[in-house]
Amino acid sequence: MATAGKVIKCRAAVAWEPNKPLVIEEIEVAPPQANEVRIKIVATGVCHTDLYHLFEGMHKDGFPAVLGHEGAGIVESVGPGVTEFQPGDKVIPLFVSQCRECRFCKNPKTNQASGRHDMMAPADSRFTCKGKKVLQFMGTSTFSQYTVMNQIAIAKIDPAAPLDKVCLLGCGICTGYGAAVNTAKVEPGSTCAVFGLGAVGLAAVMGCKSAGAKRIFAVDINPDKFGKAKVFGATDFVNPKDHDKPISQVLAEMTNGGVDYSLECVGNVTVMRSALESCVKGWGVSVLVGWTDLYDVATRPIQLIAGRTWKGSLFGGFKSKDGVPQMVKAYLDKKVKLDEFITHNMTLVAIYFTLVAVLSFYPLDEMFHVLFSLGSKQFCVTVYIGNYERLVSQKR
């Protein structure tokens, strides 16, 4: 390849500061070092965790960064010591690695990893922009035309896979689906409740359905989400805004004492508590999937003493390198849906203008609503990085 071994200059959406729009910049992407692979990103989704980093978490040492961790692409070149990948392979970058050697990888009970590439250390980033090191968010940075990853954090996938669809398996869909199937271990004939119907929650509904759940309650404060939830298998719909009582009480009354499984896919500690308390005593299992590190979770001890189990799930409990290619195959075999999650296809430039418009015209507390209702987070967006240049020239 003509570019192998050379610095590649390409476009990326750079988050220079918290709470500011992304800026489309030309960045330099260094060649892959030992055990690394340089990937041409073809498509990426937008996950709430990208927005969380920019607008909610806002940790100062996490900028400047290139966000994005739900992408798919093609190997451009490989560094020394890489034998598993070759230029031209279709791949999905992984924000949870799998080295197959450490104590976590060897233990079938977990998909946790111990590698450094999961983090955003400046030394691990291969990006520079205007002479400054730019961090690789979650190690992946899929809002860039090229990225560099360690080979233990890349999944090789079926060459037949359409990258603009399977990119969603890089985070949201594996996360929600696996949280139901692998972490909650939903059983046939059971009753489930899924709180929050973004991509993650809808995938959790799909996971409950595929595990054979008899009744699946879809809970969201935005009733527009219920139609989509039905497509994925939800049987009942609950909008907390329609009730004066706590939602756990509403669900307990509808299910003779509570659901067997609940999944929190919002990232709100109050909802996490409601989800736990919506479970039946004795055996109910509640899984935390939504992300926040700003608040503590709480409940009364009796909730757990009475036999409920509270668990958390990272990336749906999938061992990433093994699980992602299996999910790609399940999609190609029509066993899991992906197309139905996609509401909008837009270019990197469009995402940029969406963010700029939103940030310039709306006050901060209205912003999330506007941003989401514009569709950037309504279910999931696929962003075609490849179309960027074409769109720019049209714009000029």
Ligand X SMILES: NC(=O)c1ccc[n+]([C@@H]2O[C@H](COP(=O)([O-])OP(=O)(O)OC[C@H]3O[C@@H](n4cnc5c(N)ncnc54)[C@H](O)[C@@H]3O)[C@@H](O)[C@H]2O)c1
Under rule CB under 6 A, residue 200 binds ligand X: yes
Q: What's the rounded Cα separation, in Å, for the pair 102 and 113?
A: 8
Q: What's the rounded Cα separation, in Å, for the pair 175 and 67?
A: 18
Q: What's the rounded Cα separation, in Å, for the pair 59 and 197?
A: 27
Under rule CB under 5 A, residue 203 binds Zn ion: no
Segment lying near ligand X (by CB under 6 A), choices 107-115, 121-129, 210-218, 307-315: 307-315
The three-class DSSP label of residue 333 is coil
The H or E element that residue 98 is part of is none
Under rule CB under 5 A, residue 102 binds Zn ion: yes
Which residue number, 150 or 191, has a Cβ lying nearer to Zn ion? 150
Nearest to 45 by CA among 175, 155, 160, 158: 175
Q: How many CB atoms lie within 10 A of CB 306?
A: 13
Q: Which two tokens stand for residue 152?
A: 């233990």
Which residue number, 75 or 171, has a Cβ lying nearer to Zn ion? 171
Figure out which of the listed residues 240, 246, 375, 386 binds ligand X, where binding follows CB under 6 A.
240
Instruction: Classify strands 236-238 and 215-219 as parallel, antiparallel or unpaired.
Output: parallel
The H or E element that residue 347 is part of is strand 344-347
CB of 6 to ligand X, least distance (A): 34
Q: What's the rounded Cα separation, in Å, for the pair 260 and 187?
A: 9
> Among ligand X, Zn ion, none, what binds residue 129 when CB lies within 5 to 8 Å by partner kind?
none
Under rule CB under 6 A, residue 234 binds ligand X: no
State the angle between helix axes of 348-361 and 388-395 in degrees (0 to 180), rounded to the nearest 10: 60
> Among Zn ion, ligand X, none, what binds residue 102 when CB lies within 5 to 8 Å by partner kind?
Zn ion
The three-class DSSP label of residue 143 is coil
CB of 5 to ligand X, least distance (A): 35
* Dihedrals phi, psi of 347, to nearest 5 degrees: -95, 170
Which residue number, 222 or 235, has a Cβ lying nearer to ligand X? 222
> Among ligand X, Zn ion, none, what binds residue 99 when CB lies within 5 to 8 Å by partner kind?
Zn ion
Q: What's the rounded Cα separation, in Å, for the pair 248 and 252?
A: 6
Which residue number, 226 or 353, has a Cβ lying nearer to ligand X? 226
Under rule CB under 6 A, residue 315 binds ligand X: yes
Segment lying near ligand X (by CB under 6 A), choices 71-79, 138-146, 286-294, 330-338: 286-294
Figure out which of the listed residues 58, 74, 102, 221 binds ligand X, where binding follows CB under 6 A.
221
- Write the interaction track for ligand X spanning residues 250-269; mark x where CB under 6 A is met and - where it is not: ---------------xxxx-
Nearest to 254 by CA among 272, 269, 266, 237: 237
CB of 70 to ligand X, least distance (A): 8
Under rule CB under 6 A, residue 53 binds ligand X: no
CB of 69 to Zn ion, least distance (A): 6
Under rule CB under 6 A, residue 383 binds ligand X: no
> Among ligand X, Zn ion, none, what binds residue 222 when CB lies within 5 to 8 Å by partner kind?
ligand X
Q: Show contacts with Zn ion in window 148-187 (CB under 5 A).
A: 171
What are the contacts of 230-233 at 24+ separation with CB within 8 A?
Answer: 231/337, 231/340, 232/202, 232/203, 232/205, 232/206, 232/337, 232/340, 233/205, 233/206, 233/208, 233/209
Contact (Cβ atoms closer than 8 angstroms) between residue 257 and residue 191 = no
Figure out which of the listed residues 147, 175, 191, 255 binds ligand X, where binding follows CB under 6 A.
175
Q: Rounded to 5 degrees, what angle do the CA atoms 26, 45, 97 make?
A: 90
Under rule CB under 6 A, residue 172 binds ligand X: yes
# residues contacting Zn ion (CB under 5 A): 6
Which residue number, 102 or 392, has a Cβ lying nearer to Zn ion? 102
Chain positions contacting Zn ion, by CB under 5 A: 47, 49, 99, 102, 105, 171
Q: Which residues bind ligand X (CB under 6 A)?
A: 47-49, 52, 171-172, 175, 195-201, 219-222, 225, 240, 265-268, 271, 289-291, 313-315, 377
